[in-house]
Structure 1
Amino acid sequence: MNKLIYIAPVIFLMACISGSPPSKSVVNPDNIQSMILNKVPLQIIDVRDSDRFKKGHIYGAVSISRSDLENHSTDIYGMRIEKEDFQSLIQGLGFTDKDSIYLYDAKANSEAARLWWLFKYYGFEKVAIIDGGFLKWRINRFKEEAGDFTRAPKSEFTLAKENNEELLATKEDISNGVYDQIIDARSVEEYSGDVIKNGAMRPGHIPNAVNFDYWNLIKDNEFTLKNAEEIKSLLMEKGISTDKKTVIYCHSGVRSALMTLALRDLLGLKDVANYDGSWVEWSSDEALPAEVSTKQTHN
């Protein structure tokens, strides 16, 4: 059984900056393994479903599923959880606002990045993803355990009063031309309209959006993020500027959250926001324009 334990901010900072790529929001898994073996207190969240978590997870982790992070009172699939509910969710894990928190999943950290984005948007800063997630962790044969986790008593974890609004984009922002550049982080098949994923009401993409599949951020066979220079070069190949006010979207704000993290923390860009509703919300509003380029098929 897992035991919830605590980490000092200085250890959090050292772990994040000592790995590669350097970032306050990306930590090298070697550092996490070392701290686990040295019995350094850690707070780790596994962002997979509970069944997969129980079959095996990073030692000491607790579990939150993607559905836990969604607002189920809206008709738009995948919209962010309300702040009060999110605070209560983290309190239920026994975490405090003095803790530093590490996140991972088994999807190249796209869902972990969604949780990172929520923490950041709601004003909590001491959070990072474990580079490569659980896939890289297993490749390295680092310490695991199986079974459920033991919940600590509910804490008084408190989010900041003010949200970090620069991280959030809305459909109104995009429609009103707030952003100089729109990046579509989905696959080329989704972007073109050849594939329509569940939840979307129409094929295609937001007009003037540039397609950059988020998977281009990931190193093949390692599942870790590429370094800043590699990412910047790939963006340039697509004609994407690093100097423009930018909004990123995908299907439901998950893959785009990872790209938001990469651009803001690895490349150091500040004018980058994640469109929470993404294509699910945009495609549901018939008043909003959409572009397609080829024949559409449903999946």
Structure 2
Amino acid sequence: MASAALRRRAFGGLHGVGSSLFHSEPYGCGSSFSLLSLLRRGLFRHLSTTTSSGTEAASVVLPATTSEPVVSVDWLHGSLREPDLKVLDASWYLPNEQRNPLQEYQVAHIPGALFFDIDGISDKNSNLPHMLPSEEAFAAAVSALGICNKDGVVVYDGKGIFSAARVWWMFRAFGHDKVWVLDGGLPRWRAVGYDVESSASGDAILKASAASEAIEKVYQGRPVGLATFQAKLQLHLVWTLEQVQKNIHEQTYQHIDARSKSRFDGVAPEPRKGIRAGHVPGSRCIPFGQVLDSSQVLLPRSELQKKFEDEGISLDRPIVASCGTGVTACVLALGLHRLGKADVPVYDGSWTEWASKPDTPVTTS
């Protein structure tokens, strides 16, 4: 059972707000998801994954019953015209990188892709960065992007596999399992020679703006119109500070931290001011880059398994992931999903929340 704090944050402090804001259309866009119909149209045919050596591994068949969380650029290229497939550019960068993801999206993105603003589609009642929004707010934003419950969603970013994993986890946290990360992201798409669009369509920019506006309206208690997407928070995928505190003593879950080893050890300063250095007592460090190869493609199963086992992580026991602000923890969750662990929770507030509290224990190495 979720804590009262999580329930308050999950619904964004919106008391009595929800059905009064918009009319819901179950499963969106007037029809329910049909695997048979998608197979007939060829949308969820065979998806191939790419190994670290660049060769094609055995194909897998979607949809969400598979443990495979990524799709190849070759498959996506052949599926762009499918009507029930939505592609999202979820690029996001650390403040010190001084990169503007929306501007980069307008310069070059996968044809037909929409822009998903991680900072914008977030909890407006929290002072922590890009926390999960309420169910109502997520549903309103995703509906504004033109996404329905019946749609398959492929997410990518400008680094390879980085912030796309966060949006993959967000959709799953709100009950949408028909979501995958593009293996290798935009860099791999361009490396194999596939075309990009050099200017965003007016419709795409309008949808991105509409999604941001919808979030604001929900948190202001204003109506947002018809919702084509229904969100249902999966509480078991989202951890709170209280759950992490409890786990320090009980050690029921193995806690893995996706930050760099220097930050984990407390020898490197945190990028955000006022945040103590170190890690949660009892947690282990697995920097997110260790589950990717040199081209930012997710490692194959055998190599992934060795990475976790080498760090003393048992795949037979429960695992919870965290990082700096809840972004790269989702990369570890992505890798564990490939290994068959589909329900790895993420501590949403992560180190930024933990280390900003004066009474939370911190360990350094």
TM-score bracket relative to the smaller structure: 0.7 to 0.9
Equivalence for 1:156: 227
Matches of 1:268 and 1:276, distance apart in 2: 22
**Alignment match of 1:143 (pick from 182, 185, 195):** 195
The equivalences for 1:230-245 within 5 A come to: 230-245=303-318
Seen in structure 2, the aligned counterparts of structure 1 residues 110 and 55 have a Cα distance that, compared at 3 Å, is same
Query: SS at the partner of 1:84?
Result: helix
Q: How many residues align?
A: 282
Shift of 1:270: 4.3
The equivalences for 1:1-299 within 5 A come to: 9-10=38-39, 11-15=42-46, 17-20=47-50, 23-36=67-80, 39-41=81-83, 42-48=85-91, 49-149=101-201, 150-151=203-204, 156-160=227-231, 162-177=232-247, 179-195=252-268, 196-198=270-272, 201-220=275-294, 222-264=295-337, 266-270=338-342, 272-293=344-365
Matches of 1:12 and 1:248, distance apart in 2: 32
Seen in structure 2, the aligned counterparts of structure 1 residues 262 and 192 have a Cα distance that, compared at 3 Å, is same
* Contact 1:46 1:63 survives alignment (8 Å): yes
Matches of 2:340 and 2:327, distance apart in 1: 20
Matches of 2:157 and 2:267, distance apart in 1: 28
TM-score, normalised with respect to structure 1? 0.87
Matches of 1:103 and 1:135, distance apart in 2: 13
Q: What is the letter of the counterpart of residue 40 of structure 1?
A: E
Q: Structure 1: 5+ residue runs without aligned partners?
A: 1-5, 294-299
Equivalence for 1:3: none
Give deviations 1:7-27, integer Å, cap 9, x for gaps.
964345335x43346544211
Larger Rg: 2
Matches of 1:273 and 1:200, distance apart in 2: 26
* Contact 2:119 2:129 survives alignment (8 Å): no
* Contact 1:95 1:155 survives alignment (8 Å): no
Equivalence for 2:5: none
* Contact 1:77 1:199 survives alignment (8 Å): no
Equivalence for 2:3: none
Give deviations 1:164-210, integer Å, cap 9, x for gaps.
22211111111112643110111011101122121562110001111
Aligned CA-pair RMSD: 2.2
Matches of 1:68 and 1:135, distance apart in 2: 24
Matches of 1:267 and 1:240, distance apart in 2: 13
* Contact 2:320 2:347 survives alignment (8 Å): yes
Matches of 1:131 and 1:271, distance apart in 2: 20
Shift of 1:246: 1.0
Seen in structure 2, the aligned counterparts of structure 1 residues 94 and 180 have a Cα distance that, compared at 3 Å, is closer
TM-score, normalised with respect to structure 2? 0.72
Seen in structure 2, the aligned counterparts of structure 1 residues 246 and 260 have a Cα distance that, compared at 3 Å, is same
* Contact 2:175 2:234 survives alignment (8 Å): yes
